Structure 1
Amino acid sequence: MINYKIKDAEFIFSKGRLGFQTVIESFENAKYINVVTYSLSAREDFLIELLHKATIDGIPVKIITNIPGRFNEYFSERNKEKSKKNINAYLDKLNPNKFHQLLSTWFNFSNHSKIVMTDQIAYVGSANYSNLSGENYESGIISRDNGFINHLVREVIPEIESTSLNYFYSKQNEILLDCIIDLLSIEDYIQRVLTDLSKTSYYVTGKNYETGKEFNDCKGSDYDLRWNRLSSVAGVLDFFKDHMDSCYLIDGSEEMEKFKREYKLRVINIQRKVNNICLKLRETLSFNETEFAMEMFERNRVESQIEDRTSEYISFLQDLSYEEKILSKYDLKKDLIFLLDSIVEYLDAICWAKKRIKNFIESDNRTNTEIDNTLTSENKC
């Protein structure tokens, strides 16, 4: 048994409306969506369409469901055929290839729990992820407690998943789906970095590289924060390169191995460019106006000036140091454009990698044969 005390929760008792309505209204702003349910709607409905739309928008979705009508044993061919229809309906409805390879589908035949959640809000209760739930009396809780949400993601869902069957027969496809989700996270972060740098350097480069995504702490005009983030770009890309190296430790075909080598070479090449330019930018951006003014003051110290015109001379040096700082940034125009273009190149590499991974998944569409237990041994082969 797993226990957790929730700090922030609201009890929901519903009929005539989905108890998790507030959660599905937040789907479009989610970083991920998780659904744990006993059953889904018998036919295509708006709830499945919401998940489909989310994957179109690049939001990864995980579903863990039972299949009502699937039994451990069958005592007649009629019951077996009826179960087979239900199983095939679920396999067809939840085929990851229909969801742009952003749906991770799992089946758990002892699951009766119900969870509908995003990274911001969670529903836990009696309602299945089905439009029929709106017609029944259902009860549950809705919580925005970050600790509880993390608990569901790190403890509860992995526990259910550990005894579940993945949609695909190939273990590699399961790993590749996770790789696509990792790439999406990387892509999202780098897009925000690119917008960050574009806004900060626009007055120097005159070029707009904005992606439509940005960090919440940079919606104003906090240029210092943006420039400081610039200094960590190389480190961020280093981290993600290492992360992707670990993701691709997959024993695959010769074509898969070739893809891994190509991806690594692309990333290393871009990484080298970004590291070199960031080192140069760090040196320029560390320019200190006060230190520059004092150095000039000491270097050009003249006794007569010191005695009669010290304040005027210091003011002149302050203006000079400010102009020097501005000029140094304008001198960086080519370097900044090169940096921004390199980040765009990195995003292109991610896009290329996602497409290649999807092709690998589509090339092996074998469904996990343990899901449909109505098949004979001959049929499974």
Structure 2
Amino acid sequence: MSIQRIPLVPGKIELVSSKDELNYQDVLNDFSEADFIFVTTYNISERRERLLQMLKEASEHAEVRLVTNIPSRFDRYYSSVPRQKAQASIERYTEKLNPESMDGFSAFFHFENHTKIILTNNIAYVGSANFSEESQNSRETGILIKDPEMVQLVIDNLVPIIEGEGIQYFGDVLNEKQLTFSMLLSEMKMAADNMKEGVYTYVGHPIEDTEVFNFWDSYLSNRDVSILYDVIIELEEEINNLREIHGLNQIFNLSDMSILQRASDLCDHGTPIWEFSSFNAQNFASDLLSNELALYEDLDEACQLASQQASERQSELAEAAVDDIRELFGLIELIKNKVVLINTELNRLDVIQETIDNT
């Protein structure tokens, strides 16, 4: 049986009613041309895959978001049978809607939702039909909005409300991100502590509690500087990646990319910090003995002179880098605070996500 159509606003809005056919077929037909797809439904098919496969294929070129209830899930369970039934249903739903299985896909669970909307940025269906293959077996009725400007009003005004009332499901992404940021934070702290130990000393009486830069016998490991630089670059990449995941893009706003950029600039190749960390006093002295001091008759005097010049050169490099080193350590503290803030927000979302399974 075909879809019955009643024009309400010619060319813009029509009433559609059907049985034995999906009431929103016109919207499905537009999936291949869409840039944005939004679906809110009471339920999806637990065993059939055609509609989800269409979303998966569309997610390769469009941003796709789906909001659904889980019919077998209740606020409270009074026996083991409904609890087990709910647990099985929740597992099936979360497995099907795992965002890691689809690019550009976001899933939300809304446990008070009975709204049915299937739309693209071009056409919208608002009616009685769920986003499930089984809905074609029932008499379903709704309206089609074919005016993209009207559709955009729905997207701008109604979609945020429905999504905001739901719980976004991220799968394992939240745990993975927290672990990654924690590891990078640990690596950055270790490299920075090693660097600080080489360039700072502590003075004071009777307790040495005043930190001062050691111009006379300072040392900066090129390995630690390289590790710090790599960690900062990786942090930039990981934070930027948050922008690609709907629902985590607000966490990106907690960071300050200019801080990371400045920190990486300070310890990049050719900078005073890099030059200082690359200096090897022993190699410098050996080169002097092999070249400029090779004609000295007194080897002990030549070695002493070479050692003195190497020490002076190391002090010169330390003095040239001191302002950048101090700035870098200040930036590292800011970065550490930002990463802790990011992980706190990731953990908050993870705690909320865990409430999806209330069995």
1:13 to 11, 17, 34: 17
Give the 3-state SS of the residue equivalent to 2:244 in structure 1: helix
2:80 is matched with 77
Contact 2:66–2:106 at 8 Å: present in 1 too? yes
What is the CA–CA distance in structure 2 between the aligned matches of 1:11 and 1:27, rounded to whole Å?
Answer: 20
SS in 2 for 1:153: helix
Q: Could you list the per-position Cα deviations for residues 313-363 of structure 1 after superposition, in whole angstroms to 9, with x for gaps in the alignment?
A: xxxxxxxxxxxxxxxxxxxxxxxxxxxxxxxxxxxxxxxxxxxxxxx9xx9
Match of 1:27 in 2: 31
SS of residue matched to 2:113: coil
| Residue 179 of structure 1, CA deviation | 2.2
Structure number with larger C-alpha Rg? 2
Amino acid at match of 1:85: A
Q: Once the two structures are superposed, what CA deviation does each residue of 1:144-193 show, in whole Å capped at 9, x if it has no partner?
A: 123321221111111111211110384989x98872279xxxxxxxxxxx
Contact 1:38/1:114, CA 8 A, preserved across alignment? yes
**SS state at 1:133 partner:** helix
Alignment of 1:198-237 (within 5 A): none
Q: Which of 61, 66, 75 matches 2:69?
A: 66
Which residues of 2 match residues 259-278 of structure 1 at below 5 A?
261=261
Deviation at 1:108, TM superposition (A): 0.6
The CA distance in 2 between the partners of 1:106 and 1:74, in whole Å, is 22
1:248 Cα offset (Å):
3.3
Equivalent residue for 2:90?
A: 87
8 Å CA contact 1:64, 1:161 repeated in 2 = yes
Compared CA separation, residues 132 and 104, structure 1 to 2 (3 A)? same
> Using the alignment, how far apart are the partners of 2:68 and 2:51 within structure 1?
14
SS across alignment from 1:140: strand
- Is 1:180 matched up with 2:180? no
1:51 to 25, 49, 55: 55
Checking the alignment, whether the CA contact within 8 Å between 1:107 and 1:166 is kept in structure 2 is yes
Higher RCO (Cα < 8 Å, 6 or more apart): 1
| SS across alignment from 1:162 | helix
| 2:97 maps to 1:103 | no
The aligned counterpart of 2:44 is: 40
The answer (yes or no) to whether the contact 1:39–1:65 under 8 Å persists in 2 is yes
Contact 1:35–1:116 (CA<8 Å) still a contact in 2?
yes
The separation in 2 between residues aligned to 1:135 and 1:177, in whole angstroms, is 42
Residue in structure 2 matching 1:158, options 152, 157, 160 = 160
- Given that residues 248 and 260 in structure 1 are in contact (C-alpha distance below 8 angstroms), is that contact kept between their aligned partners in structure 2? no
Answer yes or no: is the 8 Å Cα contact 2:48–2:133 preserved in 1.
Answer: no
Q: Distance in 1 between matches of 2:116 and 2:91?
A: 22
1:6–1:148 contact (8 Å) kept in structure 2: no
For the 8 Å contact 2:99–2:170, the answer to whether it is kept is no
Structure 2 CA distance, aligned partners of 1:176 and 1:136? 46
Structure 2: state its 5+ residue gaps: 1-7, 179-238, 266-342
Map 1:93-172; keep pairs closer than 5 Å.
93-100=96-103, 102-168=104-170, 170=174
CA drift at 1:58:
2.6
Checking the alignment, whether the CA contact within 8 Å between 1:66 and 1:110 is kept in structure 2 is yes
Confirm or deny: 8 A CA contact 1:33 1:59 kept in the other structure. yes
Letter of the aligned partner of 2:95 in structure 1? D
Query: Quick check: which one's strand share is greater?
Result: 2
User: How high is the TM-score relative to the length of structure 1?
Assistant: 0.48
Q: Percent identity?
A: 32
The whole-number CA distance in structure 1 between the counterparts of 2:62 and 2:150 is 21
Determine helix, strand or coil for the equivalent of 2:162. helix
| 1:317 corresponds to | none
Shift of 1:259: 12
Q: Residue 272 of structure 1 aligns with which residue?
A: none
Report the structure, 1 or 2, having the larger helix content. 1
Q: Distance in 2 between matches of 1:47 and 1:259?
A: 45
Q: What is the rounded CA distance, in whole Å, between the counterparts of 1:155 and 1:127 in structure 2?
A: 21
Q: Which stretches in structure 1 are left out of the alignment for 5+ residues?
A: 183-243, 266-359, 375-381
